[in-house]
């Protein structure tokens, strides 16, 4: 072997640089560094994890020579597995949701993989979902191995064995905060465990897009209704067993627009050729840094590269069509809408309030739904239809507590959420509960939005 060479491309995985951000982070006191995982051979942080998945499966005899690797993937896990399969002689079948870019699909097919595309807007247990289709293909395909990144402990295990130690060595343990997007949870769980063992006070911060389940669950403990969103490779509509949410010290939420605009800024102002989930992670890290307003070292993991998003994030026409470039005046933010409403205190119910008292409160204030809290913690919402459904049952009692009747059919937003995004959320949710630093700052219903937009048009 010639000096300086590696035996195959798999031995080139890792050793990615850590780079300090300049222009996009100039307004914060913290030093923000990015771990350039998009420079791995197959283009993402998933290279480390997939190599660990296959290595461990081979050790256990779960995959045989000439076998077929099957996986449900948003693209990057598939690319890592396809690269490994090419080197080691396996076949591949990948199942992807239809919101993924054409570049991702084409890149997997370039490796010789078969790609099956499934609808995004279905429940995870729907037989058409990409999770369900992947499981069916495993049952139908002889000598197949289901990588199953959402439930395979070798996913966080790969980051515990490789990603975490490499970042720790590069920083010499001098980082104070580690920020990463939340998807399968393998990165934050694996890296987080490694870091916490060596520096318990390190802060682990997850970044989650509006529409995903994680943020509301971490903040309120309630499983809310997921909504569709555009950014790829981050967030989930169910809870994989590979994520340990208890390890998080904080969670920050971002929306599609700020993810995509930050992605473009990272390329144009920092020279970092990255994809949408990288923009999400950096946008979340900057929000966190501003809220802390202190000097500290923050490391942000950048998962994948820009080449897979040329037809979307870096296409001005696609960005305008989806409302991410301001071709026309913005409709404003939720704070503007709340300013037009009455300044009265938000009407709430406690989970221990009696049904009769909640009905009286709704009637007195002329409202049809309201948030429900346990102390100061939001636990859900209750609407007229929930009370009606309960009152026609045999076990109904006006003196029962409303806690068991609470539902999750609502969205949570911040005062800075764009009205354009609020419109999309209220198309599916009964109402939007406005949280400002975990405090309930208001409630927005469809009629509130209609009234706000009507006032704008005069």
Those residues with Cβ within 8 angstroms of residue 110's Cβ, 6 or more apart along the chain or in another chain: none
Take residue 111 and report the two structure tokens written for it: 């490796």
| pLDDT at residue 456, rounded to an integer | 78
| pLDDT at residue 10, rounded to an integer | 96
Residues 440 and 433: beta-carbon distance below 8 Å: yes
Give the residues of the chain that fall short of pLDDT 50: 343
Of 3.40.50.1100, 3.40.50.2000, 3.10.510.20, 3.40.1280.30, the CATH number of 46-146 is: 3.40.50.1100
Domain with CATH 3.10.580.10 in the chain: 334-457
The DSSP output letter for 368 is S
CA distance 69 to 93: 6
Of 3.50.70.10, 3.40.140.10, 3.40.50.1100, 3.40.50.1820, the CATH number of 9-41+154-234+241-321 is: 3.40.50.1100
User: CB neighbours (10 Å) of residue 362?
Assistant: 19
Cα dist. 269→31, 250, 265, 275 in Å?
17, 28, 5, 14
Determine which one of 3, 26, 35, 46 is catalytic. Answer: 46
Yes or no: domain 334-457 corresponds to CATH 3.40.50.2300: no
| pLDDT at residue 193, rounded to an integer | 98
Beta pairing, strands 431-436 & 439-445 = antiparallel
pTM over 0.85: yes
46 is catalytic: yes
| pLDDT at residue 329, rounded to an integer | 61
Domain with CATH 3.40.50.1100 in the chain: 9-41+154-234+241-321, 46-146
């Amino acid at each position: 072997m010639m000096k300086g060479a590696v035996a195959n491309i798999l031995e080139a995985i890792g050793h990615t640089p850590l780079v300090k951000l300049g222009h996009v982070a100039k307004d914060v006191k913290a030093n923000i560094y990015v771990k350039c995982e998009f420079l791995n051979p197959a283009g993402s942080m998933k290279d480390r994890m997939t190599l660990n998945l296959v290595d461990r499966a081979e050790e256990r005899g779960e995959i045989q020579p000439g076998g077929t690797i099957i996986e449900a993937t948003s693209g990057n896990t598939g690319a890592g597995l396809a690269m490994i399969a090419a080197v080691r002689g396996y076949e591949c079948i990948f199942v992807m949701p239809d919101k993924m870019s054409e570049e991702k699909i084409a890149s997997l097919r370039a490796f010789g993989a078969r790609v099956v595309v499934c609808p995004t807007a279905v429940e995870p247990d729907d037989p058409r979902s990409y999770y369900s289709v992947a499981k069916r293909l495993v049952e139908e395909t002889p000598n197949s191995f289901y990588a199953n990144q959402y439930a395979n402990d070798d996913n966080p295990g790969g980051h515990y064995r490789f990603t975490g130690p490499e970042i720790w060595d590069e920083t010499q343990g001098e980082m104070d905060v580690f920020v990463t997007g939340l998807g399968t949870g393998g990165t934050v769980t694996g890296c987080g465990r490694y870091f916490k063992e060596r520096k318990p006070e390190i802060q682990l911060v997850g970044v989650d897009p509006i529409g995903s389940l994680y943020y509301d669950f971490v903040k309120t403990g309630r499983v809310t209704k997921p909504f569709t969103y555009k950014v790829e490779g981050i967030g989930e509509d169910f809870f994989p067993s590979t994520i340990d949410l208890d390890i998080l010290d904080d969670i920050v939420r971002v929306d599609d627009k700020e993810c995509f605009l930050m992605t473009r800024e990272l390329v144009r102002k920092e020279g970092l050729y990255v994809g949408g989930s990288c923009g999400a992670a950096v946008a979340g890290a900057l929000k966190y840094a501003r809220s802390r307003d202190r000097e500290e070292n923050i490391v942000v993991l950048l998962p994948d590269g820009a080449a897979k998003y040329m037809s979307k994030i870096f296409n001005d026409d696609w960005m305008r069509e989806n409302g991410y470039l301001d071709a026309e005046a913005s409709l404003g933010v939720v704070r503007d809408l709340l300013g037009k409403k009455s300044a009265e205190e938000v009407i709430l119910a406690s989970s221990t309030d009696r049904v009769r008292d909640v009905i009286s409160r709704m009637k007195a204030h002329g409202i049809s739904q309201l948030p429900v809290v346990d102390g100061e913690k939001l636990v859900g919402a209750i609407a007229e239809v929930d009370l009606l459904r309960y009152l026609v049952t045999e076990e109904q009692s006006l003196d029962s507590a409303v806690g068991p009747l609470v539902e999750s059919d609502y969205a949570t937003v911040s005062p800075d959420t764009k009205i354009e995004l609020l419109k999309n959320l209220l198309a599916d949710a009964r109402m939007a509960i406005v949280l400002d630093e975990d405090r309930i700052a208001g409630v927005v219903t469809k009629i509130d939005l209609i009234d706000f937009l009507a006032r704008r048009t005069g």
